[in-house]
Amino acid sequence: MAAVGGGRTVSSAFAPIRLWLLLPSWLTIGFFLLIPVLLMLVYSFLTKEFRGGVIWEFSLAAYDQFLFDRGLFGDDPPTIQWTYITIFARSIIQATIATIMCLLIGFPTAWYIATRPASSRAVWLFLVTVPYWVNLLIRTVSMKFLIRENGPMNEALLGTGILDAPLQLINTDFAVQLGLFYSYLPFMVLPIYAAVERYNFALSEAAADLYASHWTIMRSIVLPVVKPGIIAGCILVFVPSLGAFLAPDLLGGAKNFMIGSLIEEQFKGQAGNWPFGAAASMILLSMVLVVLFFYARSQAREQV
Amino acid sequence: MRTFDPRRYTGFFTITLACLFILYAPLAVVAVYSFNDSLSITRFEGVSLRWYQDVFFGLEAGKFRTAAWNSFTIAIMAATAATMIATAAAIGMVRGGNFKGKPASFALISMPIMVPEIVTAVATLIFFSAIGFSLGYVSILVAHIVFCIPFAYLPISARLQGIEATFEEAAQDLYASRWNAFRYVLAPIMAPGIMSGFLLAFIISLDDFIITNFVKGAGVETLPTAIFGAVKQGIKPDIMALSTLLLLFSILIVTLSYLIGRTGDAKNPE
């Protein structure tokens, strides 16, 4: 019997061959991503081989190194090792600031686009999404080119007499935040746009008729309704920012090390400590899973 | 009586313009400077195409050409494979009825998007080294197919959810085989979604730096890894010319995808 209402009822025209349709994706992702992630977990508990690789011997050294400093030969009494904790804390702070910047610019932008006439919305959305399709590396390099000490931005600011001395932006915390903000801004705009577009403006109009002020309407009526879109946008910006590599590497310099650079260095750089890199990756992955878990739980609660 | 329009907030238009300015200014500046007729990347001294000439015929042209060839062939193959896998998966998920492992299946398909890129890169490198898979062109291709699947899946399944099941059911009622119902009825209606999925996967593959950088091994470069290597020695004008070319190519693809999406909506039978 044909299902009425299209997508709303679950159609099962292809149910008899469902397994064969799903198997290629399960096998590809299961074999080349799920198993590798589990193997990475195993590697984080192995002993490091110098010059990369591992020795198959159980060890907690990677996690121990993350938290404690035991001196050059490993037999000093352990003291707390702040280096890596600082790098993780800095990553969380940088990602949080980038998320807030994206929200402050992204929300008004999404709101403005969603309140345009239907015909021009698509064009505005198109303008916001184009940069997302441009290579992230090229975008980050462009940002570096623009804000560097002798770059066009400083030239313009000095040339017009707004500044007397060039702005030292490159290799600062702010440059990294700006880079992350620039990388993931469209991720904030799109879900908020989708939420505002569905928002029923009759609610705002009713509140306005009852003498609610402009900002009261925003705070007490709009924000609670479009909150799921805001949360989705924040997660879409925060999660990739946390493990970002390009923005901190190209814009931040050595002083602004983030998790991504720390992990990269264990495999591609001088450090060459695979179990430690695997452990750092596991910690990053766990942090992301915690964020996603709370998100899924809040979503489930919204639907009840 | 209302004294204001609750849709309008003062300053939101200005912020939108600022948002677009921030998004486009760095790209525009690099595009302008790529035409700079000067070795210095600081001063603008007249318009010329010399850096574009340099990209195609200069000292490093061979390196860039090989990298571009690798990038494009990998992107086309990875996007094709990912789109086929994702189309099958979307039909299985959206048209396969309810089944017990559906949430788990969805979690597995979206896993490449959920896991941070750097973690995927580490896990893939460890896996390839553990099974003795040699790093190079093929390892890049395999890794790209995996992370392209969810990007192809999302637009395809979104499109499929918007198509009423009555179409392929009518075909089957008229004794079309399941394959023919797909081939002649469902596939043509799904086509815009499949095309958007392919283009998104293609761009995502072309864009990737981190995972490629981990699994490429020595000697094999794609455009992003070649550009990254060059930028480490400073931003040279030929890199800006190359970036501008890639920028134009991306804009071409996104425009194409936008137009396909629009014609798709116009033909939507609903």
Q: Which of A26, A88, A134, A193 to mutate to test the interface with B (most CBs of B within 10 A)?
A: A134
Give domain A85-266's CATH architecture.
Answer: Orthogonal Bundle (1.10)
pLDDT at B89 over 80: yes
pLDDT at B267 over 70: no
Chain A residues whose CB is inside 8 A of the B122 CB are 40, 263, 267, 277-278, 281
Q: Could you give the 3-state DSSP secondary structure of residue A93?
A: helix
Assign residue A71 a region (left: φ > 0; alpha: ψ between -120 and 50; beta: otherwise): left
Q: Residue B169: closest CA among chain A residues belongs to which residue?
A: A2
For residues A128 and A113, the answer to whether their CB atoms sit within 8 Å is: yes
pLDDT at B266 over 50: no
- Name which of B249, B239, B243 is nearest B58 in CA terms: B239
Token pair in block for residue A247: 């923005």
Q: CB contact, 8 Å: B13 with chain A?
A: yes
Q: Point out the residue among B15, B116, B253 whose CB comes nearest to the CB of A239.
A: B116
Q: Which residues contact A136 (CB under 8 A, 6 or more apart)?
A: A183, A246, B207, B209
pLDDT in tens, A40-62: 999 999 988 877 778 888 888 88
Q: CB contact, 8 Å: B209 with chain A?
A: yes
What is the distance between the alpha carbons of residues B73 and B104, in angstroms, rounded to a whole number? 33
Confidence tier at B181 by pLDDT (50, 70, 90): confident
Q: What is the DSSP string of A244-296?
A: --HHIIIII-GGG--HHHHHHHHHTSS---HHHHHHHHHHHHHHHHHHHHHHH
Q: Could you give the 3-state DSSP secondary structure of residue B8?
A: coil
Q: CB contact, 8 Å: A303 with chain B?
A: no
What is the distance between the alpha carbons of residues A274 and A47, in angstroms, rounded to a whole number? 9
Q: Domain spans of chain A? A: 85-266
pTM of the model: 0.89
Residue with tokens 């705009």: A189
For residues A40 and B122, the answer to whether their CB atoms sit within 8 Å is: yes
- Name which of A290, A182, A191 is nearest A234 in CA terms: A191
- Name which of B211, B93, B169 is nearest A246 in CA terms: B211
pLDDT at A168 over 90: no
| Four-point Cα dihedral B244, B250, B254, B260, nearest 10 | 120
In the DSSP assignment, the letter for residue A6 is G
Are the Cβ atoms of A134 and B250 closer than 8 angstroms?
Answer: yes
Q: Which of B19, B84, B252 to mutate to test the interface with A (most CBs of A within 10 A)?
A: B19
Would you state the pLDDT for residue A59?
Answer: 85
What is the distance between the alpha carbons of residues B208 and B224, in angstroms, rounded to a whole number? 7
Chain B residues whose CB is inside 8 A of the A9 CB are 165
Q: CB contact, 8 Å: B111 with chain A?
A: yes
What is the distance between the alpha carbons of residues A266 and A246, in angstroms, rounded to a whole number? 16
- Name which of B42, B73, B50 is nearest B141 in CA terms: B73
Work out the percent of chain A whose per-residue pLDDT is above 90: 46
Would you state the pLDDT for residue B270?
Answer: 40
Q: Quick one: how far is CA B150 from the chain centroid?
A: 11
Q: How many angstroms separate the CA of residue B171 from the nearest CA in chain A?
A: 11
Q: CB contact, 8 Å: B176 with chain A?
A: no
What is the distance between the alpha carbons of residues B84 and B145, in angstroms, rounded to a whole number? 11
